[in-house]
Amino acid sequence: MNRNGLTMTIIFQAESANFGEGIGNLTVLKKYSRGDKNQYTYISRQALRYNIIQQLGYDNTPISNESGVVQFAADASIDKYPEVDLFGYMKTVSKKDNSAGKSSTRSAVVRLSNAVSLEPFNSDLDFLTNMGLAKREGYENAIAQSEIHRSLYAYTVTIDLDRIGEDGDISIPVDEKINRIETLLKTIMFLYRDIKGRRENLSPLFVIGGVFSRKNPFFSNAINVNNGNLNISSIKSVLDMMQEEKEFVKVGLVNGIFNNEDDIINELNAKGVGEIFNEIIDDMKKAYE
């Protein structure tokens, strides 16, 4: 059995971590409306990608706007620049004189979902002024409002291990493939996001995943929290579907977060988050043996 699919579904807690287009002096959070008539805020996959790349130190890939579009430079190859190895690229060349335009693409090897809140948004607002500055010189202060929401969020990471470091004629050494994925996973374990003067901790409070033969984000639709309790039955239903792959599932938990912590430990065999990340990294390395 070739186990080339790494997937992890993660729960973290954060506050007001991604805003959309504002209305007047109101700053608006990005959010969904669902069939239960509630709204749920989210942190976009693009925002997560930005923070991951920045904290990996991979944000040095050369870019160009030669074709009238800001994009990765034509000579930015995956062996030299891990960003385009992990998250893909699209490079276009515009038509010049008698030459036809062309493009080359690489789909993402590391795929992220949006991080969607597990608790509904209730239209809470923060009232803001700049009085601290204005009163120094007797000026009138400006007023603004900002939507606020503190919630648990869930998102999923999937990685095609067999595509890391492979692009056409380019193939990087196995040691470098392992290093890139291990560095990525350790970055996710301690991920944070700077937003409006705050540093939000996006480190996992719960994680479930592993390295599998199927490249399916198994648990992305099975994570729900109700009244402080993680829904274990939906997770166990997915585990039953996985059959022989079930033995490769790892579950990590930070203590003191969920009301049904004992049930999570006993029924899902949960361990510490750090321990689970190390086990998944070990399984990833075995996939390259």
Report how far apart, in Å, the C-alpha atoms of 126 and of each of 4, 144, 146, 147, 267 are.
46, 8, 5, 6, 40
Mean pLDDT of 59-69: 87
Q: How far apart are CA 286 and CA 124, in angstroms?
A: 48
In this structure, the strands spanning 206-212 and 250-253 are antiparallel
pLDDT in tens, 158-216: 999 999 999 999 999 999 999 999 999 999 999 999 999 999 999 999 999 999 999 99
Q: How far apart are CA 203 and CA 185, in angstroms?
A: 11
Mean pLDDT of 118-135: 90
**Cα 178 to chain center, whole Å?**
20
Mean pLDDT of 17-39: 94
pLDDT confidence of residue 99: 55
pLDDT confidence of residue 45: 97
pLDDT bin (cut points 50, 70, 90) of residue 96 is: low
pLDDT confidence of residue 143: 87
Q: How far apart are CA 89 and CA 53, in angstroms?
A: 14
Residue type, 240: D
In this structure, the strands spanning 110-112 and 26-27 are unpaired
| β-bridge mates for residue 7, sequence order | 158, 210
In this structure, the strands spanning 39-43 and 63-64 are unpaired
pLDDT confidence of residue 2: 87
